[in-house]
Amino acid sequence: CSRRGSSTFDCSGRGLSTVPQDLPTSITSLNVGHNAITSLSYSDLSRYKSLTKLIAFTNKISFVQPGAFSNLIYLEFL
């Protein structure tokens, strides 16, 4: 993923099948669009508590675990 500014990461178009877990936990914006992600779970997202923006369009998401976003209290854009 490439860093854009201090707290924004662009992981788009990288063939990812899951949300990366090796980014700084303080990120506020994450783009995982145009990948091969099939599901979103609490464990995929919970470490990024400061996220205000999550871009996940153009994936293969067929399942979102109930409560997947429950830890993302600052999320404004999905």
Residue 68 has what pLDDT? 98
Distances (CA, A) of 39 to 5, 17, 50, 63: 27, 9, 21, 5
Residue 18 has what pLDDT? 98
Reported as type and span, the H/E element at residue 45 is: helix 42-45
Residue 2 has what pLDDT? 97
pLDDT-flagged residues of the chain (< 50): none
Residues facing 63 on adjacent strands: 39
pTM score: 0.94
Q: How many Cα neighbours within 13 Å face the side chain of 67? A: 3
CB atoms within 10 A of CB 17: 11
Domain 1-78: which topology? Answer: 3.80.10
Residue ranges covered by each domain of the chain: 1-78
